[in-house]
Amino acid sequence: MGNGLSEPRSLFPALPAFRSLHIVILGLDCAGKTTVLYRLRFNEFLNTVPTKGFNAEKVRLRLGGSRRCASFHLWDVGGQERLRPLWRAYTRGADGLVFVVDSVDAERLEEARAELHKVARLAENHGVPVLVVANKQDLRGSLAPAQIQEALALAELSPATPWHLQPACAIIGEGLADGLERLHAMIGKRRKALRQQQRQRRRRQGDPSRPRVWADTGPVRTPSGATDTQHDKRSRSPWQHQALRQVPPVKSTPGQR
């Protein structure tokens, strides 16, 4: 569900497996962001406390059941209202965003929508892929993914912002790996598009670093009435004339042989 890729695995080669992707986990307080982080890192449930600053972990994920792995550097940032102004500093230069919402807390979805759209509209986040994690789907009374998509107005995000809504349960880890794999694919598609745009821009503007290829104009015909010597002088460049200039003979003096 989203405007990302229909076939994410085909784009995995667009990213080097050895490079860690900078991913920022955002969302309102008590949405389950830290639980998501540690479930991905340790593959088990850990009791957590409200994040006052941030938590950071490195995670390796096997892609599509293959031997190839992707490396992520995940930053979990506190979601209290007084900490949200700091989100901008953490998302600057991010490869992707993870926005976690509480599927049970319908009363705060409007607040979550406002914060999600605010961070997605930042100039430095233009075009950055967004993975929306609909957490706590295991609880009774949780909203369906379609209801969450409508409440968050995901269709109103910029067309340049690829997104995917992933239903999940952070306590048991259901849906988290699939969502992160989908985010990896969206990042790969974006980078591929950026490289194509750069190549097209270089073709239009001309890349000074590329060697110039001079066209062969063919043999030069001798003008009628001009001698070979005259034509030879006309067709030479100045540096060729300098190279072919004769050195004047040295006069011999008495006593020299």
Q: What gap in Å lies between CA 39 and CA 140, rounded to an integer?
A: 21
The answer to whether 135 is a known ligand-binding residue is yes
The answer to whether 166 is a known ligand-binding residue is no
- Rg, C-alpha atoms of the chain: 32
The answer to whether 176 and 36 have CB atoms below 8 angstroms apart is: yes
Backbone dihedral angles phi then psi of residue 54, each to the nearest 5 degrees = -155, 160
The answer to whether 43 is a known ligand-binding residue is no
Q: Per-residue DSSP letters for 165-210?
A: EEE-BTTTTBTHHHHHHHHHHHHHHHHHHHHHHHHHHHHHH--TTS
The answer to whether 169 is a known ligand-binding residue is no
The answer to whether 48 is a known ligand-binding residue is no
Q: What gap in Å lies between CA 20 and CA 27, rounded to an integer?
A: 22
The answer to whether 178 is a known ligand-binding residue is no
The answer to whether 33 is a known ligand-binding residue is yes
Residue 163's DSSP bridge partners are 130
The answer to whether 51 is a known ligand-binding residue is yes
The answer to whether 30 is a known ligand-binding residue is yes
The answer to whether 28 is a known ligand-binding residue is yes
Active site residues: 80
Nearest to 62 by CA among 192, 172, 184: 184
Q: What gap in Å lies between CA 97 and CA 83, rounded to an integer?
A: 17
As annotated, the binding site for Mg(2+) includes 34, 51
As annotated, the binding site for GTP includes 27-34, 79, 135-138
As annotated, the binding site includes 27-34, 51, 79, 135-138
